Structure 1
Amino acid sequence: MKYELIHRTSYLYEGMVTVSHHMARLAPRPLPNQRCPWHELSIQPVPVGRGVHADAYGNVTTYFEMEGSHGELEVVAHSFVEVFPTVHPKAEGTPAWERVRAACGSSVLNGYSEAGAFRFASPMVPTAKEFADYARQDFPAGRPILGAVIALMGRIHREFKFDTVATDVATPVSEVLRKKAGVCQDFAHLMLACLRSLGLPARYVSGYLETKPPAGQTRLTGADASHAWVSVFCGEEAGWIDADPTNDMLPNERHITIAWGRDFSDVSPLRGVTLGAGGQKLKVAVDVIPVEGI
């Protein structure tokens, strides 16, 4: 599948800003199943300084800074991306989850060591007995890890309600578990907490999901949104496999990957600090548009 992506972020400040520094992670990652032949980041007002680098997790990151009085900021990421089909391994052919846990936790440097860094708690994803207990029924002894991951993903999808007003960006994962409600970020954080509390490596993935309007209706401009899911290390042969608990599916051509990290705090699309702003109003509009060619 080929897509045109437009992600528009606008800030309207209550007061005039004199200096601001920002970090954007809005460029699609180059991956074996994904390529991005063209990406442009348009910023108004024009920054006085700007640079692009890869962060600690390999995400394309743009730093920019503004000087001079301004009351608004607009950042528009415009990309073309192609996503290829993913061939997922058969669940029963993946190793037992305890074997993956043991290999990733070994003190001996091996092929699992790098993945093992994603076993630990992070700023927005704690590890705790309550999360391990919730996941336990899907992880009986000896079960192949991908089968267990699919089962946990499906149970979160069935037992939790998608509710845009139940949580906000700062809602603790323990409260999400108690409320049994939230949005894609919450379900990704919950699944990460469950997996890591069992000692398994898992990372947070941010991106987009192609949505389709109801039959007979036209696509609304700016009506799409950022999406979040998880990726679980399923052994050296299977590698990292993505899982989307919001939609109970293993992502494929309709999922577009932008960045990954320990949790949302590592991959926020745009964040920064300002001097003199006071309050601010934020508006985000996203378009994921299927195209015939690039």
Structure 2
Amino acid sequence: MRYAIRLKITYDYPAAVTDARHLLRVRPHADAGQAPRNVRLAITPRPDEHARERDFFGNDVDAIAFFAPHTELAVLMEAEVAVERPVPALELSPSAPSLAEEALAVATADGTSPLNHLGASRLIAPVAPLTAYVAETLGDGLAGEAVMALTRRIRDDFAYVPGATSVGTSVAEAFAARRGVCQDFSHVMIAGLRANGIPARYVSGFLRTEPPKGQPRLEGADAMHAWVDVWLGGELGWVGFDPTNGILAGDDHIVVAVGRDYSDALPIGGTFVTAGPQETDHFVDVIPIG
């Protein structure tokens, strides 16, 4: 499947911003399942400094800086992306207990290693009731099938309610409330899996806006979406699961960035000097083109 993608993020500041530095993670990821082309990035006003780099997790990062005063910022990313992500053979995964042992035996420690996605991170920490909730779903069966069951359970047990939570909502709060958005559900799933020894990482990206004919529209398609990659052993590697919609991440999902949690994959972050609150808008279009 090929898509035309358009992302626009805007900020309006009540007072002029000076000395601003930002890291942008908005370019589609290039990996075995997807190939971006004709990627265009427009930033207004034009940055005084602009450098492209790769972070520890392999994400494409634009580092920008502004030294002149400005009262607004607009980031526009347009791209075409071809996605072909085969359905994983979950029956080839080891049992959940065996998978936990296999993860600890991995020798590599780079950004793709499961070892970097087993412990607590900035926004994710163990929560005892959540650990038990996930443990009863995992059991001793095949890890891939158990994670799929967990994905569906979160979809069924949690209500998708935009505005019910914020970026600062903790895993414990989201789990207790049983409501929120894709970021909350992904953090809940990751925290529970890691506490049970299963490596899991956060994925930020785009979701197909219009579903195939006869299928329901997926939640989270009007903004950047989030889901979970779970490491299912050396044979299967990282496999995507979407707890918001209770499905595997497939050709409708376009990856932008991965990390331990949202803080590693957020579209725009950084520091700047201003006074008063700021207003931001976020627009996404994902259009199938063949």
Partner of 1:25: 25
Q: Tell me the alpha carbon deviations over residues 263-286 of structure 1, each in whole angstroms, 9 at most, x when there is no partner.
A: 000011011211234321111111
User: Aligned-pair distance for 1:37?
Assistant: 1.5
- Does the C-alpha gap of structure 1 residues 134 and 17 become closer, same or farther in structure 2, counting only changes over 3 Å? same
Deviation of 1:92 after TM superposition, in Å, equals: 2.7
Match of 1:196 in 2: 194
Contact 2:223 2:284 in 1 (8 A): yes
For residues 45-94 of structure 1, the C-alpha deviation after alignment (integer angstroms, 9 at most, x for no partner) is 111110000001000000011111211111111111110141311x3321
Q: Deviations over 1:169-188 (max 9, x none)?
A: 11111111111111000000
Q: Which moved more, 1:205-214 or 1:245-254?
A: 205-214
- Partner in structure 2 of residue 139 of structure 1: 138
Q: Structure 1 residue 152 and structure 2 residue 150: aligned? A: yes
Number of residue pairs matched by the alignment: 282
Within-5 A mapping of 1:213-292: 224-292=222-290
What is the root-mean-square deviation of aligned Cα atoms in Å? 1.9
Partners of 2:8 and 2:282 within 8 A in 1: yes
* Aligned counterpart, 1:53: 53
Q: Which residue of 2 aligns with 1:129?
A: 128
Name the SS for the 1:120 alignment partner.
coil
3-state SS in 2 of match to 1:109: coil
Look up the match of 1:81.
81
Could you give the per-residue CA deviations for residues 94-117 of structure 1, whole angstroms, max 9, x where no partner exists?
1111111012224x7379992122
- Select which of 206, 209, 212 maps to 1:208: 206
SS of equivalent residue, structure 1 residue 68: coil
Q: Which amino acid aligns with 1:98?
A: P
User: Per-residue deviation at 1:208?
Assistant: 0.7
Tell me what 1:103 maps to. Answer: 102
Q: Distance in 1 between matches of 2:109 and 2:67?
A: 46
Unaligned runs of 5+ in 1: 216-222
> For residue 123 of structure 1, what is the amino acid of its counterpart?
R
In the aligned structure 2, how far is the partner of 1:64 from the partner of 1:92? 45
Partner Cα distance (2:142, 2:131) in 1: 17
Question: Take 2:177 and 2:109, find their aligned partners in 1: how far apart are those partners?
Answer: 38
> What is the CA–CA distance in structure 1 between the aligned matches of 2:148 and 2:247, rounded to whole Å?
8
Identity %: 36
Kindly indicate whether the alpha-carbon contact (under 8 Å) linking 2:209 and 2:285 is maintained by their aligned counterparts in 1: no
Conservation of the 8 A alpha-carbon contact between 2:121 and 2:261: yes
Cα–Cα, structure 1 residues 185 and 70, in superposed 2: closer, same or farther, change >3 Å? same
- 2:113 match: secondary structure: helix
User: Could you tell me how far apart the structure 1 residues matched to 2:62 and 2:275 are?
Assistant: 22
Determine the structure 2 residue equivalent to 1:218.
none
In 2: Cα distance, 1:93 partner to 1:53 partner: 36
Aligned equivalent of 2:39: 39
Unaligned runs of 5+ in 2: 214-220
2:217 maps to none
After TM superposition, give the deviation of residue 20 of structure 1 in Å: 0.7
Counterpart-to-counterpart distance in 2, 1:104 and 1:78: 37
Q: Which residue pairs with 1:162 in the alignment?
A: 160
Are the equivalent residues in 2 in contact too, given 1:111–1:236 (CA < 8 A)?
no
The 2-side partners of 1:176 and 1:18 are apart by: 35
Q: What TM-score results when the alignment is normalised by the length of structure 2?
A: 0.93
Stretches (4+) displaced over 6 A: 110-113
